[in-house]
Structure 1
Amino acid sequence: MLRQLRRARLLALYVLVPLLAAVAPLLVIPAVTARHGAVGWSGVAIGLSVGLVGAVIGELGWNIVGPQEVARRPEAARSCYERALAARLVVVAPLALGCGVLAASLASSHRLAAGLLAVGVCAGALSPSWYFTGLNRPHLTLLVESLPRTVLVTLAALGISGGGPLELYGAALLAAALLPLLLAAPLVGLPLVPGPTAFRAVGATLRAQWVLVAGRGVATVYKAMPTPLLAWIAPDLVALYAALDRPLRLGLQFLTALPQRLQAWVAVDDPALRARRSLMAVVMNSVLGVLAGAVYGIAMPLVAPVLFSGTVEVTADLGMLGGVLVAVICVSRGFGLALVAGGRAGATSSAAVVSAAIGLTGVPLAAIASGVPGVVLALVASELGGIVVQWAALSLVHRGHRRAEAPA
């Protein structure tokens, strides 16, 4: 009974953490659109998109491999965290500055707000949440990251609603990115600044992670590219695309509750058990994706008028296309989790390159030819291409396991 209660508590925490992360930004969007209209929302969307690219590059793949490494080798968890933080600090500082300059240059108005948002989102790459996931202690993420972020973003929303500048949102995100590092030091005993050994190992860490970084970076560029691209070739479409994309990404952030919970569950020493659990992870993520996609497709046209203060209209057709994108992304996550567990994390980068090749060519053409619906369809096609590559790689992994288990 106690074990069941503990599992239920852990599951609730794994749901609550991404739920807060997804809900907090939803408090800001109505404030932005009500006070600054579609133009203000476009500037915010550009800053968020550019910052997201920087954040994925800056986290150096630790969100993928870190939790399972910590779960498998808890005795080396602290040194793992120090190595990761040292490398991230070296990379994120210049990267965040570059993201800020790029976002400000792309925005047609509210340039400072767009730049500050990009810096704040990129700085989120320093998050220690992956470490807590590996320890199977999600309550630490709640205490040092999710709750402070929710409070800061809520204060920013209230400030903007009361007539404050749009820059309040970016300032809140930047503070929310740095605060977990400050809180983790006294509350969890993690170092605020990594030791000299960790900094000397930065080069080796970057070399070890470069395949994941390249794959994740390429994948994120094509996913985040539509907003900056539209700002360049069709600025009038930015508000509509961002209205569809931003809630979709926030919903996907909430849906990380399942793969996060499964990371430690899949990371077992028994190869046969790990293989079975990996397949179950793919199935569970796929079912979740179909259900979540249906909910998104039905709800988005109903929610958009309230969320965006009537400045943007999301049609039923667009909502359903977004739902399909949600479903295929969840399926891809399941395959990625299984590949990492099978020791083939590099295959996720190969899949990302294929997806990016489809997306980087398809998205611009689709944007010009069909506008926002075409962009979403191009993203769906790119995700499907990546799924095919991951499925092929996972098939090879399980074929090898079956051969190893077969009697001589």
Structure 2
Amino acid sequence: MKTVIKRLAGFAGFPLLSAVVPLFVMPILARLAGEQGWSSISSGLAIGIFSSTVIVFGWNIDGPVRLARTPRSAERLVIYGESLSSRLVLCAVVFPITTLLAGVISAPSHRLEAILIALASASGGLSPAWYFIGTGNPRLLGFVDTIPRVVASVASIPLLLVTEQIWTYAVMQLAATAVTLWFFFQAIPGAQGNLPSIVWSRKAIQQNLRSQMAAAGLNLAGNAYGSTPVPIATATVSGTAASNFASGDQLYRYALFPVSVLANAFQSWTLEVAGEAGRRRQLAAITAHTILGIVGGVLLASLGPLVSGLMFGPNLATNQLTAIFYGLALCFLSIAAPLQRNLLIPNGRGAYVFWVTVTAAATGVTTMLVFGQLNFVEGIAFGMAASEALVLILLLPASIKTFRAN
């Protein structure tokens, strides 16, 4: 446990900065956008997050597992080169589509800002964060990936306050992505000399796109219902109600941070050993995620309206029912996370996880669309909770069987 505690501290320390800074930036964006524009900005963020998932493809799922099982640094660089090649190709396809979607959904008065916010979020798909997670190196995760983004966010605060132009934040985030990629090549020994031939190999690009299809499908299906609530609300519900809903959704995104940190700290640790020691580590991860899910879900459900009102302004506060549904979603997602990442996928059950995720995505998105058309915005949050509950229910039997077989 000493190792996992150190990794937990490391993976929480630097990323905590990247989670705290938006707590100051997003309220500024919300107040600048106003009641009519906040849902458009939030939709741009959601579309960008989904686009980043398309760009990262399946590397944040398969990548850390492959790296944790590959001790040699030269082989790890080959894996990273393979990922970079496919992601650069996907950027050329995804960025124009992202621009179109953000422009169509957003209000005309906030179209440019929504598009730039979406592109800035989409560029996160080029982040090397998964590489440092797989290699168990929180220090480089902080210096290479987190600090440039934090600096960009902090620098954008005075720009936003002085210019009152939302696009300045998006431009700073795009610049941070470029700096992060440059830092990676400077920080990893041998990266500058070994990667170019891999990155620009046409054969490698085609091969890696094909090999990542299963993991990418899982990734996209999982994010299909995770990124759609605010765009659906913006497209179907009145502007003010959609903006209030967007505040609850943003609060939910912040609440996912501890889940992500815990999952990153446990993933490589649980996969490093097998047998009885491995089962003990799996149980430790599942227990920690269950406790976090219950506590976090209760806090989000009970304090969501108060906290969102303080953050985004009283006129943009989410309502209690939306907060309750998002609290349930957080609880179910946290409990299911180690079952997918540490147990089922590493043991060859990725196809089953994919089937479960697609089923949940279809159920959740359909539910959200129905309630959106009925102008019942809280029902969109219910669709999110229903999706996460379905994932957990369907994963449990396979997880128990796989755990016993190990």
Instruction: Show the 5 A alignment for 1:9-408.
Output: 9-75=6-72, 76-108=75-107, 109-189=109-189, 190-191=191-192, 194-198=195-199, 199=201, 200-236=203-239, 237-337=241-341, 338-369=343-374, 371-401=376-406
Q: Structure 1's 222 and 317: CA in aligned 2 closer, same or farther, altered over 3 A?
A: closer
Alpha-carbon separation, structure 1, partners of 2:30 and 2:227: 21
Give the aligned residue type for 1:48.
L
The more displaced of 60-69 and 125-134 is 60-69
Alpha-carbon separation, structure 2, partners of 1:204 and 1:18: 33
Cα shift readout 1:123-181 (whole Å, capped 9, x = no counterpart): 10111111111111111111112121111112222211223311112112212222211
Per-residue deviation, 1:400:
3.8
Alpha-carbon separation, structure 2, partners of 1:51 and 1:302: 27
The more displaced of 176-185 and 308-317 is 308-317
Alpha-carbon separation, structure 1, partners of 2:375 and 2:402: 40
Q: Is the 8 A contact 1:55 1:123 kept in 2?
A: yes
Q: Is the 8 A contact 1:18 1:255 kept in 2?
A: no
Cα shift readout 1:49-72 (whole Å, capped 9, x = no counterpart): 111111112111111121121111
Give the aligned residue type for 2:179.
L
Per-residue deviation, 1:80:
0.7
**Match of 2:226, SS?**
helix
Alpha-carbon separation, structure 1, partners of 2:68 and 2:99: 35
**Match of 2:212, SS?**
helix
Cα shift readout 1:5-41 (whole Å, capped 9, x = no counterpart): x765433221123322222222212212333312332
Alpha-carbon separation, structure 1, partners of 2:286 and 2:188: 33
Matched residue, 1:406: none
Matched residue, 1:405: none
**Match of 2:17, SS?**
helix
Q: Structure 1's 311 and 193: CA in aligned 2 closer, same or farther, altered over 3 A?
A: farther
Alpha-carbon separation, structure 1, partners of 2:398 and 2:177: 35
Alpha-carbon separation, structure 1, partners of 2:403 and 2:263: 20
Q: Structure 1's 193 and 112: CA in aligned 2 closer, same or farther, altered over 3 A?
A: farther
After TM superposition, which residue ranges in structure 1, 4 or more long, deviate above 4 angstroms?
Answer: 6-9
- Aligned residue pair count: 398
Q: Structure 1's 7 and 339: CA in aligned 2 closer, same or farther, altered over 3 A?
A: closer
Alpha-carbon separation, structure 1, partners of 2:169 and 2:194: 27
Alpha-carbon separation, structure 1, partners of 2:183 and 2:245: 36
Per-residue deviation, 1:253:
2.6
Per-residue deviation, 1:364:
1.0
Over aligned residues, Cα RMSD in angstroms? Answer: 2.1
Give the aligned residue type for 2:396.
W
Alpha-carbon separation, structure 1, partners of 2:397 and 2:116: 41
**Match of 2:316, SS?**
coil
Per-residue deviation, 1:381:
1.1
Q: Is the 8 A contact 2:325 2:384 kept in 1?
A: no
Per-residue deviation, 1:389:
2.4
Percent identity, please: 26
Give the aligned residue type for 1:213.
A
Q: Is the 8 A contact 2:237 2:375 kept in 1?
A: no
Cα shift readout 1:358-406 (whole Å, capped 9, x = no counterpart): 11211111223462221111211111111222223323423544xxxxx
The runs of 5 or more residues in structure 2 that have no matched partner are none
Alpha-carbon separation, structure 1, partners of 2:117 and 2:287: 36
Q: Is the 8 A contact 2:103 2:112 kept in 1?
A: yes
The more displaced of 348-357 and 305-314 is 305-314
Per-residue deviation, 1:255:
2.5
**Match of 1:201, SS?**
helix
Give the aligned residue type for 2:403.
H
